[in-house]
Structure 1
Amino acid sequence: MTATILFATRNPGKYAEFVAAFHKFSPQTSIISLADLDYQIPDCIETGATFEQNALLKARHTRNHLHGNDKNLIIIADDSGMEIEALNGEPGVFTRRWNGHEMSDQEIVDYCLKKLENKTNRRAQYTTCLVINFPDGREEVIFGKNSGVILTEPREESRLKGMPFRELFFVPELNMMFHEVRELPKLKRNGYSLGHEVAVEKCATLIKEHAMLHSSTVV
């Protein structure tokens, strides 16, 4: 029997990117999102001060609200965000409420560019924290980090709903948008390591190891 992973998000852009990354390492694995459940899980209140704290909150919140056979699902929750050097690491975990209220993708893009106006240092780091929550209660925490710069204007052709920094985050070493680098085979990245991909690969490995120890779950 093939395990099904529940990726704890309703964000369609984040879900699509995760599935594409995970299937590079485990193409047969079924991955669903919160939107695929036939009941509603309440939104998790993300009160953590770090990416790890928020990812753990999401994973445990999701586990506590699963019904019936869904309690056997392997949950992967993530928290990720941009940390901009010239802004002392903003927005970090506060992307959606960066200016104090809930923001749309476009508001985040506009606000970011306004805050970086006249800044020569546009270096930024995109951090991802993934938490695997297994049905037996075990948890694993995995990090991925990538460096780049924030463009002075958005690349609208890179826009994807739910991923505001997708149209701003650029990798100078490869002269490409970060999401374009993700789509390249490793041999064409000139040594640029994708932290997110490394983290997802580690997830896939840990889930396979879990399956070997639990004969009722096979990936």
Structure 2
Amino acid sequence: MKKIVIATQNKGKAKDFETMLSPLGYEVLTLRDVAEDMDVEETGVTFEENAILKAEAVADALGIPVISDDSGLEIDALNGEPGVYSARYAGLAKSDDANIDKVLEKLSGVPDSERTARFRCVLAVAAPGQKTETFSGSCEGMILHERRGNHGFGYDPIFFVPEQDKAMAELEPHEKAAISHRGNALRKLQESLPTWMNKQE
């Protein structure tokens, strides 16, 4: 089984990648496994900039191929917030509950018709001596008025997926992988992943 490093400390993201990459024969490792103390500051103003920043920093530091993910929630009624600040929307502590509370408070009184939103994800693939590639995906939905479901992480409990008639957090992991922003980005990446992985051997 080939090992692949995901440049994240986020257990939720790691689980998403495992769900999608394990069936393809990849063992997913994260910074918790290979460089627990490493934390790359996200100074980019777009998901793509942050994804490239993280992937290249970790690949250069460890001398190995790395996949990095920068993703977040864009709410139309809030002019695209929280966007690249999704993880730390309510403060540097990165609390999912506090972030959700802040979104619900800001959208208080906003009617359903104006609660449109999307999850966006950009994956960057970096390796020493190779050109960094990016792959993006999105998932359209609505922001609920209250939490629903016990799966997932982040904003999943308040993100309603109309085609599933469920909140993202009500979907089983394989159901989420089939329609999520990360799943959509990863399917694009999968097409070049075998070639890219073979270059490191």
Query: TM-score if structure 1 supplies the norm length?
Result: 0.81
Amino acid at match of 1:34: L
Question: 1-side partners of 2:18 and 2:161: how far apart?
Answer: 22
- Say yes or no: does 1:197 pair with 2:183: yes
* 1:65 aligned residue: 61
Residue deviations 1:3-23 (CA, integer Å, cap 9, x gap): 321000111111101111223
Query: What is the aligned residue count?
Result: 198
* Aligned with 1:123 (options 116, 138, 157): 116
Question: 2-side partners of 1:40 and 1:185: how far apart?
Answer: 27
- Say yes or no: does 1:78 pair with 2:69: yes
* 1:95 aligned residue: 86
Q: 1:129, 1:144 within 8 Å by CA — same for their partners in 2?
A: yes
Shift of 1:156: 4.9
Question: 2-side partners of 1:17 and 1:100: how far apart?
Answer: 24
Question: 2-side partners of 1:211 and 1:130: how far apart?
Answer: 15
Q: CA RMSD in A?
A: 2.3
Q: Which has the larger radius of gyration?
A: 1
Q: 2:74, 2:83 within 8 Å by CA — same for their partners in 1?
A: yes
* Aligned with 1:45 (options 41, 66, 69): 41
- Say yes or no: does 1:144 pair with 2:128: no
Question: 2-side partners of 1:211 and 1:83: how far apart?
Answer: 32
Q: Which structure is richer in relative contact order (CA contacts within 8 A, separation 6 or more)?
A: 1
Q: 2:42, 2:50 within 8 Å by CA — same for their partners in 1?
A: yes
Question: 2-side partners of 1:102 and 1:156: how far apart?
Answer: 23
* 1:4 aligned residue: 3
Q: Percent identity?
A: 32
Question: 1-side partners of 2:186 and 2:145: how far apart?
Answer: 30
* Aligned with 1:206 (options 186, 192, 200): 192
* Aligned with 2:29 (options 6, 29, 32): 32
Structure 1's 181 and 145: CA in aligned 2 closer, same or farther, altered over 3 A?
farther
Structure 1's 56 and 178: CA in aligned 2 closer, same or farther, altered over 3 A?
same
Q: 2:138, 2:184 within 8 Å by CA — same for their partners in 1?
A: no
Shift of 1:181: 7.2
Question: 1-side partners of 2:86 and 2:185: how far apart?
Answer: 21
Q: Which runs of 5+ in 2 are unaligned?
A: none
Structure 1's 207 and 89: CA in aligned 2 closer, same or farther, altered over 3 A?
same
Question: 2-side partners of 1:35 and 1:129: how far apart?
Answer: 21
* 1:172 aligned residue: 162
Question: 2-side partners of 1:128 and 1:170: how far apart?
Answer: 17
Question: 2-side partners of 1:22 and 1:138: how far apart?
Answer: 22
- Say yes or no: does 1:154 pair with 2:150: no
